[in-house]
Amino acid sequence: MTAATLPVPEGYRILDIDGVRSQLADLPVSGRLGGQPADWVIEEVGDGNLNLVFIVRGPESGFAVKQALPYVRLVGESWPLPLSRAYFEHRALTIHSEHVPRLVPKIHHYDDTLALIVMELLEPHIIMRHGMIAGTEYPGFADDIAEFMARTLFSTSALALPADQMKAMTAEFAGNTAMCRITEDVIFTEPYMIAENNRWTEPWLDLYAEATRKDTDLKIAVTRLKRQFMGAPEALIHGDLHTGSVMLWAEDTRVIDPEFAFMGPMGFDIGAVVGNLLLNYFSQIGHEAAPGDRDAYRQWILATIETVWNRFRRQFLDLWESSIKGDAGGDIYGAGLFADPEGMAALAREREHYMDRLLTDALGFAAAKMTRRLLGVAHNIDLECISDTKCRATAEVRSLKLARDLMVNTDRYPTMGHVTDAARAMNTHQPDFAD
């Protein structure tokens, strides 16, 4: 099956720079750019796995223009992908903007036929992943991403929504099956078996990849996570919330690219953030000019991981408590059930248990996200840009070993502090490579 055989809407075409110029010229929002279409400077900058991304600059302002392709850009036309993901991305951004408007880009136009989103151009923001490779600290990130997750996850869950709204949202996003299937395959299945698109740092990780495929305890653990991913519609999750989906600078943070959005387990988003921060932590061995040069930055990363979880937890609980006091909660844990002092005390304990369970879920999903970036089809530039393959493999083995323990022995990590302590200890591990 090729891209030519995919069912695309009549009128769909893949845009080039001239096509973007022509398309924007016909839109009312083009007036924000200023000047004439010939004055606009347009470049294609997409470096992701799936889509075309254009930057358009006019005399007065700029746009980011994103178009979905009918296939996976990373692989090519042999891996078809429906254009409907642009609709789900647009809907998720719209819903997120209702709850955290300052943390997502503004949408100026959406074209369903062209699978095209015209949105705010974020400047001087950069992709967070690139900034972390350079060793840049972002003091506002932890607060911002904690707020994003707390507000979007709580507000789209049954803790905040009546059952009919919750089920309607679940039904709407259930159509994003192709993107969910990618996650189900490349995160929860393929890294643990022989699969055509898998790759790793050879020959250094050959034995580790083989050991992963033979690790029954690990495969049981990841299958349980997959079952949860497929069957726990707890909230509208971003679905791909990593440091490549965050654009920021010192004074502003924005979350982008929610094309994998669907109603799923909250821990998946939290785990994606934690897992990618841990990968960057281990990658620092390949980015420092001399051993120890990035020690302070390593400590900032681990402190950020703890802060993200602790502030998310506090904000989520605050939102929950406020909804109960305001009699505006959803259709579970109704305040009427716990109105007496004994009931309120029991509900307070239950909320603590709920957050403990969320942490457990998040750590399992963090481990799955780490493993797929080391043995699966799509890797992180944090590690990929390390030119010394043995150095890169050292960082990857440390990541794999921690990920394995987080997934199989999650009960050893009752707090995020236990996770960061384990990361510090693992960062001294020297793999036994056969030279």
- Write the pLDDT tens digit of every residue in 202-247: 999 999 999 999 999 999 999 999 999 999 999 999 999 999 999 9
CA distance 367 to 304: 18
Does residue 355 surpass a pLDDT of 90? yes
Give the three-class secondary structure for 177: helix
CA dist 323 and 329 (Å) reads 5
CB-CB contact of 430 with 394 (8 Å): yes
Share of the chain above pLDDT 70, in %: 96
- The structure tokens 């973007």 sit at 20
DSSP state for residue 25 in the 8-state scheme: H
- Determine the average pLDDT of the residues in 255-267: 97
Residue 41's pLDDT is what? 98
Mean pLDDT for the chain overall: 94
pLDDT band at 3 (very low <50, low <70, confident <90, very high): very low
pLDDT at residue 107 in the model:
97
User: 68 pLDDT exceeds 90?
Assistant: yes
* 352-381: average pLDDT: 97
Share in percent of the chain as helix, strand, coil (round to 5): 55, 10, 35
Q: Is the pLDDT of residue 414 over 60?
A: yes
Average pLDDT over residues 71-94: 87
> Is residue 20 over pLDDT 60?
yes
* Residues present in the chain in total: 435
**What confidence tens digit (pLDDT) does each residue in 127-176 have?**
999 999 999 999 999 999 999 999 999 999 999 999 999 999 999 999 99
Question: At residue 201, what is the residue type?
Answer: T
> How far apart, in whole angstroms, are the C-alpha atoms of residue 410 and residue 413?
6
Q: Return the percentage of the chain with pLDDT > 90, whole number.
A: 88
Q: Give kind and range of the element (H or E) at residue 51.
A: strand 51-57
pLDDT digits (tens, 9 = 90+) for 375-393: 999 999 999 999 999 999 9
Q: Where are the alpha helices (DSSP H) in 284-431?
A: 295-325, 341-375, 381-384, 389-408, 416-426
CA atoms of 194 and 197, how far apart (whole Å)? 9
d(CA 396, CA 403) in angstroms, rounded, equals 10
pTM above 0.85, yes or no: yes
Q: Which residue, 393, 392, 401, 391, is CA-closest to 426?
A: 401
The pLDDT of residue 338: 86
pLDDT bucket at 6, cuts 50 / 70 / 90: low
DSSP-based three-state secondary structure for 78: strand
Pairing mode of beta strands 262-264, 235-237: antiparallel
Contact present, 320 and 154 (Cβ < 8 Å): yes
The β-bridge partners of 107 are 119
Which residues is 252 bridged to in the sheet?
A: 249
- Residue 71: per-residue pLDDT: 87
Token couple for 101: 């408007």
* pLDDT score of 429: 96
| Residue 119, beta-bridge partner list | 64, 107
- For residue 1, name the pLDDT band (cuts at 50, 70, 90): very low
Orientation angle between helical segments 216-231 and 341-375, nearest 10 degrees = 120
Give the residue-averaged pLDDT of 70-92.
Answer: 86
pLDDT band for 48, please (50, 70, 90 cuts): low
**pLDDT for the residue numbered 126:** 97
Other Cβ atoms closer than 10 A to 230: 15
pLDDT score recorded for residue 206: 96
Whether 23 and 15 have beta carbons less than 8 Å apart is answered as yes
Residue 301 reports pLDDT greater than 70 = yes
- Averaged pLDDT for residues 104-115: 97
Exposed, middle or buried, 199 (CB in 10 Å: 0-12/13-18/19+)? middle
The sheet that has 246-249: what strands, in order across it?
126-127, 246-249, 252-255
pLDDT at 197 over 70: yes
Average pLDDT of the residues in 324-344: 81
Mean pLDDT, residues 299-313? 98
Give residue 324's pLDDT. 80
Average pLDDT over residues 81-96: 96
Tell me the C-alpha distance between 8 and 3, whole Å: 9
Given a cut of 80, is residue 253 above it in pLDDT?
Answer: yes
In this prediction, residue 49 has a pLDDT band, given cuts at 50, 70 and 90, of low
Question: What number is the average pLDDT over the span 330-337?
Answer: 82
Sorted by sequence, the CB contacts under 8 Å of residue 107 that are 6+ apart come out as: 90, 93, 94, 97, 117, 118, 119, 120
